[in-house]
Amino acid sequence: MSSVRTPPGSIASTYARQSGLAEGQIVGAREVAAMLGVTRQRVGQIIRDDRTFPVSVTAISGGRLWYTPGIEIWIAAHRPGAASHATSRFGDEAAEILRAAEAAARSRGDGYVGNLHFWLVIAEAVPPSLVRDVFWSLGVDRAELLRATGLSGGRVGERSQARRMNPHVQHLLVRASVDAEANGRDVTSLDMAIAFIDGDERYRGHRHDHLLDYVERRGLDVGELRRRLEAVSADPRSIATFEPRALTKRRPAFRRPRLPKGLAFAPNPLGHDPSTLSSGAAFAVRRDGRTLVIDGEQWFFRIDGDGFYVRTPDGHPVGYRYRVDPPPRRGRGNPRPVNGFIEVLPMPPDDVAHWPDGRFEREA
């Protein structure tokens, strides 16, 4: 499935197997060095100095691991001369999409690149992409797509220089890479869009993907959207045969997410209210790279759009706790939320990375 080979028994190979991924879909610093044609020491320098280098999916025993497609698309966009680029499924189109998504993230000061930034690039594509044409056939025009991403509005405040892909969008790109390889072609925006749909999940009646959730609530049949994307991927001329449709429901009213009763946020170091910013989350890690696990529970910290940990007025972190059940004889352990909702966590140990006010991934 991939030109990348990880040694049997390596941390990358073991983690891929436990995650249900094919061989080569997870890489460590040694494999990244081989892909770039540099030393492992140089990889460390690139991670530190190049603020577009993807965020690692996890760190085990101090060693970082990445989704291979996340590294491959980054190489296509920023190191096209690397030897591994010739065997990658991420070519010029994917590289251009990533660079545009990074530019969109930087202009907003988001400090990360997620799947919504990819959707935003597709929505603003000039000339229009086939993905946008398929949305159009279902009554979703460019303006509606921009509203659906939730990223079209301006932002005020200090702008982060970081443009790192988060692990979620890299995991979705695994699907796009596998499908493209099965069809013997490079990854396209159509492959990405289909992967974003297939990789989406529901929680309490809503989709995790903000754009898909928005258009579905406006009456769009996401199953039909996927069918049309797949048809155009097989034959671009088929778009002329699609029956035009219109959205049938009113535009959803914006509602600020409810916080648990009694939960309040302190302003971040820039003076911004975290509840008014976009937000993300990541597993808390210690300074040596180990995931923070206390009493068998992994801590998952909330991060605001400026890149700071969200805290309560008395300084406690806000986030979730996950407990990983012991893995069965074969397969992987099952991580499950302890409470299932955002909560105030105890004060973390002194060796937690970036705590309390350092920007996540040390971006400034």
Report, as an integer, the average pLDDT of 134-155: 84
Backbone angles phi, psi at 67, to 5 degrees: -70, 130
d(CA 106, CA 110): 6
- Residue 172 shares a structural domain with residue 100: yes
Domain region containing 160? 92-241
Question: What local confidence, expressed as pLDDT, does residue 331 receive?
Answer: 47
Assess whether 35 and 114 both reside in one domain.
no
Domain-located, residue 262: no
Least confident of 13-22, 49-58, 69-78, 177-186: 13-22
With contact defined as beta carbons under 8 Å apart, do 122 and 129 qualify? yes
Q: Which residue has the higher pLDDT, 259 or 361?
A: 259
* Domain containing residue 145: CATH number: 1.10.1780.10
What's the whole-number mean pLDDT along residues 20-38? Answer: 90
Contact 222, 160 (CB under 8 A): no
Listed residues 61, 87, 113: the one ending a domain? 87
Q: How far apart are CA 219 and CA 74, in angstroms?
A: 35
pTM for this prediction: 0.74
pLDDT at 83: 72
Query: Tell me: the pLDDT tens digits for 51-88?
Result: 999 999 888 877 889 999 999 999 999 999 887 777 78
Number of domains in the chain: 3
Is-contact 228 234, C-beta < 8 A?
A: no
Q: 301 and 237, same structural domain?
A: no
Provide the pLDDT for residue 157: 46
Quickly count: other Cβ atoms within 10 Å of residue 4's Cβ: 21
Q: 230-234, 245-249, 347-351, 356-360: lowest mean pLDDT where?
A: 356-360
Give the tokens for residue 191. Answer: 């492959």
Which CATH number do you get for residue 73? 1.10.1660
Separation of alpha carbons 15 and 22, rounded Å: 10
Given a cut of 70, is residue 345 above it in pLDDT? yes
Q: Are residues 101 and 233 in the same domain?
A: yes
